[in-house]
C-alpha cells in the first residue's frame, strides 16, 4: 500500500482489492450495475482474480478526501503492451467534480511508467456518463458511435500512450 498527497487535501492510495477501503467502491459499483442492467452484478465484479490488479502488472487506486474513498479505479494486464482499465468509480455524493477524469489520467500515467503503450477498456451501453468520460479523455471508440449502443453490447475504447510522464505515482518525482 502506497499513498501520495495532492493539493486540496486529496490523497492517492495504491492498494489491493482486499483493503476494506475498497468496499464502498465495489458496493456502489455493484448497485449501479444491477440498477442499470437489471441483474446481480457480483459475478462481473468478481470476474477477475484480485491479484490481477496488483503490481507489477496492475494497480488499484483510490482517491481519498480526508481519509475517505471518493473515487477510484484499476487496471490489469490485457496483453504485453496493453493495460485494461476496470472499475472506474466516483462516489455518488462526489460526482460532477472531475474526479473520474483524474483517476483515468493517473491510471494512464502509471500504465505508461510500467511500460504499457496502450490502454483498452469497455463500458456498458447503459453508461452514457462513462462513454462521455472516455471520449473527452481522448479515447478512440472501437465501435460505430452512430449505432444504438444496446445493439453493440460492451463498448470498447482504446488510447495509445506515449513516453514516461513526469509526476506519476511510480516515478521518482512522486515517491509514495
pLDDT digits (tens, 9 = 90+) for 125-173: 999 999 999 999 999 999 999 999 999 989 999 999 986 554 444 443 3
Predicted TM-score of the model (pTM): 0.87
Alpha carbons 153 and 113: distance in angstroms, whole number: 32
pLDDT digits (tens, 9 = 90+) for 67-96: 999 999 999 999 999 999 999 999 988 999
Which has the closest alpha carbon to 59: 74, 78, 79, 71? Answer: 74
What residues make up the domain containing 98? 2-174
What angle (nearest 5°) sits at the alpha carbon of residue 35, between those of residues 125 and 22?
Answer: 95
Contact 154, 122 (CB under 8 A): yes
Q: How many domains does the chain have?
A: 1
**Looking at residue 88, which CATH number applies to its domain?**
3.40.630.30
Alpha carbons 11 and 5: distance in angstroms, whole number: 4
Amino acid at each position: 500500500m502506497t499513498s501520495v498527497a495532492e493539493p486540496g487535501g486529496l490523497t492517492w492510495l495504491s492498494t489491493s482489492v482486499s483493503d476494506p477501503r475498497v468496499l464502498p467502491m465495489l458496493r456502489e459499483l455493484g448497485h449501479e450495475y444491477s440498477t442499470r442492467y437489471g441483474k446481480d452484478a457480483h459475478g462481473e465484479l468478481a470476474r477477475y482474480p484480485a491479484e490481477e490488479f496488483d503490481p507489477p502488472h496492475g494497480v488499484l487506486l483510490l482517491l481519498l478526501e480526508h481519509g475517505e474513498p471518493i473515487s477510484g479505479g484499476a487496471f490489469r494486464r490485457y496483453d504485453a503492451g496493453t493495460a485494461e482499465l476496470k472499475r472506474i468509480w466516483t462516489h455518488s455524493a462526489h460526482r460532477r467534480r472531475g474526479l473520474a477524469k483524474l483517476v483515468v489520467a493517473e491510471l494512464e500515467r502509471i500504465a505508461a511508467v510500467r511500460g504499457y503503450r496502450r490502454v483498452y477498456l469497455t463500458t456498458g451501453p447503459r453508461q452514457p456518463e462513462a462513454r462521455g468520460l472516455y471520449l473527452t479523455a481522448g479515447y478512440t471508440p472501437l465501435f460505430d458511435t452512430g449505432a444504438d449502443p444496446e445493439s453493440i453490447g460492451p463498448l470498447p475504447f482504446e488510447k495509445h500512450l506515449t513516453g514516461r510522464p513526469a509526476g506519476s505515482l511510480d516515478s521518482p518525482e512522486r515517491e509514495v
